Structure 1
Amino acid sequence: MSGFNNEFTSEDPRCPGALPEGQNNPQKCEYGLYAEQLSGTAFTAMRHENRRTWLYRIRPSVIHTPFQKVDKGLLTHDWDAVEPNPNQLRWHPFDFPEKKQDFVQGLATVCGAGDPKSRNGIAIYVYLCNKPMEDKCLYNSDGDFLIVPQEGTLNITTEMGRMMVEPNEICVIQRGMRFSVDVKGNTRGYILEVFSDHFQLPTLGPIGANGLANPRDFLTPVAWYEDREVNEYTLVNKYHGHLFAATQGHSPFDVAAWHGNYVPYKYNLSNFMAVNSVTFDHADPSIFTVLTCPSLKPGVAIADFVIFPPRWSVQEKTFRPPYYHRNCMSEFMGLIYGKYEAKEEGFRPGGASLHSIMTPHGPDLECFEKASNASLKAEKIAEGTMSFMFESSLSMAVTPWANNTKVDPNYFKCWQPLRKYFNSNNKDAAKKK
């Protein structure tokens, strides 16, 4: 199925007619199924914002033992554990685990802000894992996960069906949805969690009806169920920034049919229709927004997911790479593969950078010199590469783990060789660089 934030219906072909006709909650469901609603918004949310899905399942999800707090590993929302640091930060590629660990065990918080209890804020993670979640699933009561694979394929089973998500694809698992991740070998990626609201497509304004990420390119799972009893199936719940576990005697992926608009979904980044300048100047990176989670202030995002895909660069009389910049937003960047155009050395796949609110950043010396003197002909840029940015209006703090793991102490040096060209007696000094 394809689409985004629309009403979907799906039933496992093994149970034709499992979806009730004419009502959501019949007195008796077909095949002896139970009806259960999963609500992603308040019942009274405006119709165009209301998100919910009806699930028709073998057993209701309430059948489990009481939750008990368990070790949360490197997952934290303690934003005061490290002294504030306004400096530019860069991380070398995060190491794969030496011991066997699954997706949940491999979650490590890099930075964030806010509080899930008050439903306002974000957290950014990397996941580092090398084994599947066996008879184990996770659901998040705190927020939505936007998952960006960098190395290795994620085979994700959800209550609504299964998704295979590869590097250069993303997926979103929304609040409350149970899911399990199967991997083979070393697997690494990034996660943006939003506590406040759900991700949505950005408005297009003067761009018009088409462009950026098109709704039809977002894919949702097809209903698939397993009727499987086990001695002990573990449910892990992320709640208030902690992990809790309960057990049950059956697989939670027992939904034979469902309908609604509150669903997990995936998107292939190669389908993004980039928009750019064809005259002069470098357009702001907001033109590359794939998904956004808006704040209560119009035009300001709690979080944007932005990509820098392969595209044509044709501007005249223009310094084409990203301009030097100080910003009222926090910018966390990651690299899926290839080399980022503004820093071809040092910023590597599986690593990251953080430029905090009003911290200056921009191209390194090599990029500046090359771009300032390049012949301005039409050229394809970012070929063989895909980088992205999690941008937020919140001022993010770094965790102790991220403060002591793979940090590049020499990052600041990439700007130090930038020299003065100014000559008050020579208007054409810049032309002689």
Structure 2
Amino acid sequence: MRGPDPFEYLRGFGNEHHSEAVPGALPWGQNSPQRAPHGLYAEQHSATAFTEPRGSNRRSWTYRIRPSAQHPAFARIDNGTLRSAPVTGGIVDPNRLRWDPLPHPAGRQDFLDSLYTIAANGDVLARTGIGIHLYLATGSMVDRYFVDADGELLLVPQQGALVLHTEYGRLRVAPGEIAVIGRAVRFRVEIEEASARGYVCENYGAAFTLPELGPIGANGLAHARDFRYPVAAYEDREATVQVVQKFGGQLWAADYDHSPLDVVAWHGTHGAYKYDLAEFNVMGTLGWDHPDPSIFTVLTSLSNTPGQANVDFVAFPPRWVVAEHTFRPPHFHRNVMTEFMGLVEGVHDSKAEGFVPGGASLHNMWGAHGPDRETFERASAAELEPQRFDGSLPFMFETRLPLTTTAFAHAATHRQPDYDSSWAGLTRNFASPVTDEPQS
């Protein structure tokens, strides 16, 4: 499914990486010498405040052909179907919501044009909360670049690989992998097939990091060494190109006379990276009871309330399920956390039908949900032998605040109007232990 990957990568999550596309372009001993090598400009890219703790500080030094300050004024352009929190005219809906995949567009649209906001929470100006978007690109970004100053972008391809050309180098990301593009990193998206679709979590809050392992110990879940960062690869182009910036929830554009991806060398802890979900080391129960989904957390963005994430990225890759005396699919539940579910391939183990790859569901905080009738009856009567879940990859963006659905996503023809019917067939099975007759 992933296909060959022609690029080289640096390994290790959050490490102080370094790379140079031209030998000698990276200075050593100091970050900003009086004259940078090869006539380059030294520039620091700080994604955290200078005085934040060393362990959470994110910054990189870049050595580029032109300083990024060399550009004309930006002017507002139309946002299309891209929105930010707080969502004007949106709907905070307590009902369970589910969507089919985005319909195919009539004409050509690149990744940026195709961004379609389902919901958002928090406040983009206060750097808290998230935006959740879908994309369905039918063309590559040509002479066009994007930079999100509002948040970092977690991309989950569902169909078709993406080649992300960033300031820090190139990443090829296929279904089954994810990529994170750091806040204010310029990039363009190239597609390899006729179309590409997937999901985007725009994280306004604290940068994604690996979750603490606690009682799990030193090993498990996503290993830091399996994350891949790009090696330096620059564009030395003098041509008119458009750079689109998302700032304060709005899109702004400027015409540059050169490519903004002109970083010849870099070192630091900020940039872009990817991760293959097949390398996630799944934890689970070896006895009884269904573990909470938090045990499947790949990345987390922390909030000021310990244990309540601004957003968790949770994935459910292929795995063995061996619990005894246990209802194995996700049980019926109501949560203080809000759950947005997506599906890369296969099926979700709590839904017999209706939830398809490329689709999505939203269960806002306290929304009661769980297995549909068919799944409940099948799982309640199943022989509890060791079972291998293969060919399926659901995932979840779990967030501490309710999500406001955009008006156009709420009214969309691809939103399923009968999602509540998933639970309509559940029957009353209770019988009094005294009379052995159902009680009215």
Q: State whether structure 2 residue 30 is matched by structure 1 residue 9.
A: no
Of 417, 423, 426, the residue aligned with 2:425 is 417
Match of 1:215 in 2: 224
Q: 1:83 to 1:161 in 2, by over 3 A?
A: closer
CA separation of 1:87 and 1:21: change in aligned 2, threshold 3 A: same
Q: Provide the residue aligned with 2:68 in structure 1.
A: 61
How far 1:427 sits from its partner (Å)?
A: 11
What count of residue pairs does the alignment treat as equivalent? 426
- Aligned counterpart, 2:38: 31
SS in structure 1 of the partner of residue 251 of structure 2: strand
Q: Percent identity?
A: 50
**Contact 2:177–2:277, Cα closer than 8 Å, also in 1:** yes
CA apart distance, 1:65: 1.1
Give secondary structure in 1 for the equivalent of 2:298.
strand
Alignment of 1:307-318 (within 5 A): 307-318=315-326
Distance in 1 separating the partners of 2:144 and 2:59: 24
Say whether residues 1:40 and 2:47 are aligned partners. yes
Alignment correspondent of 2:56? 49
The 5 Å alignment of 1:139-178 reads 139-178=147-186
Which of 19, 44, 65 is the matching residue for 2:26? 19
Instruction: Name the structure 1 match of 2:5.
Output: none
DSSP 3-state at the match of 1:250: coil
Q: CA deviation at 1:339?
A: 1.0
Q: Does 1:289 align with 2:303?
A: no
Q: Does the CA contact (< 8 Å) of 1:96 and 1:186 recur in 2?
A: no
Query: Matched residues in 1 for 2:166 and 2:434: separation?
Result: 65
For 1:188 and 1:155, how far apart are their aligned partners in 2?
Answer: 13
Partner of 2:6: none
CA shift for structure 1 position 426: 6.9
Q: Which residue of 2 aligns with 1:105?
A: 113
Within a 5 Å distance, the mapping from 1:329-408 to structure 2 comes to 329-381=337-389, 383-405=390-412, 406-408=414-416
The letter of the residue matching 1:64 is: H
Q: Which residue of 1 aligns with 2:332?
A: 324
1:133 corresponds in structure 2 to: 141
Structure 1 window deviating more from structure 2 (364-373 vs 399-408): it is 399-408
Post-superposition offset of 1:84: 3.1
Distance (whole Å) between structure 1 residues aligned to residue 365 and residue 91 of structure 2 = 16
Spell out structure 1 runs of 4+ moving beyond 6 A.
426-429
Q: Structure 1 length normalisation: TM-score?
A: 0.96
Q: What corresponds to 1:185 in structure 2?
A: 194
In 1, Cα distance between equivalents of 2:359 and 2:385:
32
Tell me which amino acid in the other structure corresponds to 1:201.
L
Task: Give the counterpart letter for 1:207 in structure 2.
Answer: I
Once the 2 structures are TM-superposed, how far is the Cα of residue 333 of structure 1 from its aligned partner? 0.2
For residue 408 of structure 2, give the secondary structure of its aligned residue in structure 1.
helix
Alpha-carbon deviations, 1:382-401, whole Å to 9, x = none? x1010000000011110012
What letter is aligned with 1:264?
A
Residues 1:260 and 2:268 are matched in the alignment: yes
Q: CA deviation at 1:82?
A: 3.3
- Determine the C-alpha separation between the residues in 2 that align with 1:397 and 1:38: 32
Alignment of 1:69-80 (within 5 A): 69-77=76-84, 78-80=86-88
The answer on whether the counterparts of 1:343 and 1:364 sit within 8 Å (CA) in structure 2 is: yes
Q: Any idea what SS the aligned residue of 1:401 has?
A: helix
Write the distance in 2 (CA, Å) between the matches of 1:144 and 1:253.
Answer: 18
Q: How far apart are 1:341 and its partner, in Å?
A: 1.0
Cα displacement (A) at 1:62: 1.1
C-alpha distance in structure 2 between counterparts of 1:426 and 1:338, whole Å: 45
The answer (yes or no) to whether the contact 2:92–2:402 under 8 Å persists in 1 is no
Deviation at 1:25, TM superposition (A): 0.2
Which runs of no fewer than 5 residues in structure 2 stay unpaired?
1-9
Deviation at residue 323 of structure 1 after TM alignment: 0.6
Q: What is the distance in 2 between the residues matched to 1:117 and 1:16? A: 41
Please report the RMSD computed on the Cα atoms of aligned residues, expressed in angstroms: 1.4
Kept after mapping to 1: 8 A contact 2:230/2:273: yes
Q: TM-score, normalised by structure 2?
A: 0.95
Alignment match of 1:302 (pick from 295, 310, 314): 310
Question: Could you list the per-position Cα deviations for residues 346-380 of structure 1 after superposition, in whole angstroms to 9, with x for gaps in the alignment?
Answer: 00001000001001000001110000001111111
1:273 aligns with 2:281: yes
Describe the superposition over 1:126-167 as per-residue Cα deviations: whole angstroms up to 9, x where unpaired. 012111111111111101110100111111100010011000
Task: Give the letter aligned to residue 215 of structure 2.
Answer: P
